[in-house]
Amino acid sequence: MSERGPLWRALRAAHDRLALVAPRAALALAGAAGALAEAVAPGERARLVEGLLGLPPGRARAVARRVASREFRGRALRRLILHDGIHRVAGLVLPDAIRRLRAACARRPLILLAWHVGPPSGVPAALVGAGVPALVITQGALLQGSPLLEVVPRKDGAAADAYFLKRAVERLRAGGVLALAPQGGGARAVEVRLLGRRARLRRGAAMLARTTGAPLLPIVSRWARGATAIDLVIGEPLPRPVTDDPVAFERRILQSAADWVEARMRRSPEEIRVLALRWLAECPLAGGSVAPAGRGALDPEPAAHERA
């Protein structure tokens, strides 16, 4: 059964409706469907996992099934958010994760560097669950509507993005919490090593840390309890590079961030979202041979990746 066929679309529509009334059941069902789809008609996931993580084919296929399972669960989550708002997903975040996030956010200002790993919008949902007001820089209108989250949607254009970055500076100077995810690409991006690739990350998060003095706290969400609940992995604040050179500062702190998330990715490869896998696979190899130039980012919304 093709993931693009009419029967599949009908099943997805039925599942979307189920997600609204019984989200945990819908997540479990979505996960099973994703794993089944990958088992019956293997797609690119196994190849990407094998190539990026150097796993043997059998293990890569097993990871790919779990990636697919989570991808389908992620779709169900997005549907929930679009229909009912982010607070609905906040109810899926484990209480212990919420407590840890609340404790981490007691130190302000703070920049939460939330990579595109794990359940989509898991970190913003946890912020809502923790009652932590935050400025969230994201794409699209998925998170609009929460009284706790001031959402600044990214725009398509470098100069347009300057507006939200300045807003972020103001928020941090006022002792606030900012959440954003590193974006890939761009002419002035900083190159880091990530999973054996030369990945280019936009330097916005690093600039904000440098100019405001706010610590960068790496964080990812992950599926828990049979992938029907959301947990958080919260790191330690990244070490602040001791240098007066802004270029060196940005390169070092973003490499620290990449090292942290690489450790997470290697420990739980099934949590890497498939679009992040695609983007990384297109990045040049760190060893010297060059893969096709990528346009993407560690981001689930590929449409906005072409900004200068």
Partner 1 sequence: MRAGLSPMGAADIVRQAILEGARRGLAVADLRDDVPLGRGGLDLDSVAIVEIVLLCEERLGVALPADLLEPPPATVGDLIARLVARRP
What is the closest distance, in whole angstroms, from the C-beta atom of residue 160 to partner 1 in the complex?
5
Residue 30: which of 83, 97, 101, 78 has the closest Cα?
Answer: 78
Q: Please name the residues in contact with 44: beta carbons below 8 A apart, sequence gap of 6 or more.
A: 274, 278
What is the closest distance, in whole angstroms, from the C-beta atom of residue 294 to partner 1 in the complex?
18
Q: What angle do CA 133, 138, 139 make, to 5 degrees?
A: 145
Q: Which stretch binds partner 1 (CB under 8 A): 93-101, 203-211, 216-224, 260-268?
A: 203-211
Binding residues among 149-168 for partner 1 as defined by CB under 8 A? 157-167
Residue 88 near residue 143 (C-beta atoms within 8 A): no
Answer yes or no whether residue 188 interacts with partner 1 by CB under 8 A: yes
Q: Which of 93, 113 has the CB closer to partner 1?
A: 113
What is the closest distance, in whole angstroms, from the C-beta atom of residue 11 to partner 1 in the complex?
41
Q: Which of 76, 135 has the CB closer to partner 1?
A: 135
Answer yes or no whether residue 296 interacts with partner 1 by CB under 8 A: no
H or E segment at 60? helix 57-84
Say how many residues touch partner 1, by CB under 8 A.
24
Q: Which of 141, 160 has the CB closer to partner 1?
A: 160
Q: Which stretch binds partner 1 (CB under 8 A): 27-35, 80-88, 186-194, 229-237?
A: 186-194
Decide: helix, strand or coil at residue 234: strand
Instruction: Give CA–CA dist 12/37, Å, rounded.
Output: 13
What is the chain's length? Answer: 308
Q: Which of 70, 202 has the CB closer to partner 1?
A: 202
Answer yes or no whether residue 36 interacts with partner 1 by CB under 8 A: no
Asked whether the bond before 6 is cis by omega within 30 degrees of 0, the reply is no
Q: Please name the residues in contact with 275: beta carbons below 8 A apart, sequence gap of 6 or more.
A: 116, 296, 299, 300, 302
Binding-site string for partner 1 from residue 224 to residue 263, where x marks contact by CB under 8 A and - marks none = -----------------------x----------------
Instruction: Give CA–CA dist 103/105, Å, rounded.
Output: 5
Contact residue for partner 1 among 202, 222, 273, 305 (CB under 8 A): 202
Q: What angle do CA 138, 118, 248 make, to 5 degrees?
A: 60
- What is the binding site for partner 1 (CB under 8 A)? 157-167, 169-170, 186-188, 202-204, 207, 211, 247, 307-308
